Chains A and B, each alone.
Chain A
Amino acid sequence: DVKVTQSSRYLVKRTGEKVFLECVQDMDHENMFWYRQDPGLGLRLIYFSYDVKMKEKGDIPEGYSVSREKKERFSLILESASTNQTSMYLCASSYRTGRASGANVLTFGAGSRLTVL
């Protein structure tokens, strides 16, 4: 089975702290994504990446940055955490287009619940 592992299930940080959320997948997927999920707002795409060292902004990139130095690892960075970034963060991965529509079959990690005080 494809496995997407997020390093921390629960984090509590203070306003202004720098926060790193790590995500690793073990199935050689090209595509990786970071979403946040909030009640009443659903899943919103923050950033995504189709290849190493490549990144694209999603719908809500403000206040976030990402890093993809290796194919299997996609990190989300909050440079200066704020209370409105309290949320559930979900990492996902998929194959690149051309593999029998596998690009649209996302496998998610278990999520990282971040609380910013």
Chain B
Amino acid sequence: RKEVEQDPGPFNVPEGATVAFNCTYSNSASQSFFWYRQDCRKEPKLLMSVYSSGNEDGRFTAQLNRASQYISLLIRDSKLSDSATYLCVVPRGGSQGNLIFGKGTKLSVKP
């Protein structure tokens, strides 16, 4: 299993749809997880942190399944502005701040 693996997409969804992305990770000792968002030709920015079972922030919900070693990101009521690449991020064991980035899942929300 790769360290961090994501479906590259693209996910093409209409406005208002609910969409979910999964990310699998290999290090079973990982304690915290992150979703970063990267707009086209922009730098990545933190979207959400996931420390235990999950986290919710408005239309965004991140969940963690430790048994199966995956995290998910659910976006409800998709907006055009949600179009971006979503990066799954896992800390490298033993090195704070040293992160392993997935290659990203591209989301395109259409009118």
Contact = CB atoms under 8 A, between A and B. Distances in A.
A45 B91 CA distance: 12
A31 B45 CA distance: 17
9 contacts: A33-B97, A33-B98, A35-B101, A42-B101, A48-B98, A90-B44, A97-B96, A104-B32, A104-B99
A31 B97 contact: yes
Nearest to A39: B103
Contact of B99 (A41, A56, A97, A106): A106
Interface of A: 31, 33, 35, 40-43, 45, 48, 50, 56, 58, 90, 94-97, 101, 103-106, 108-111
A105 B102 CA distance: 16
B97 A94 contact: yes
Contacts of B44: 43, 90, 106, 108
A108 B89 CA distance: 14
B42 A96 contact: no
Interface string B18-56: 000000000000001010100000111110010100000
B98 A101 contact: no
Residue among B43, B87, B102 having the largest count of chain A Cβ atoms under 10 Å? B43
Given A48-B97, A48-B98, A104-B91, A111 B43 contact: yes
Contacts of B89: 104
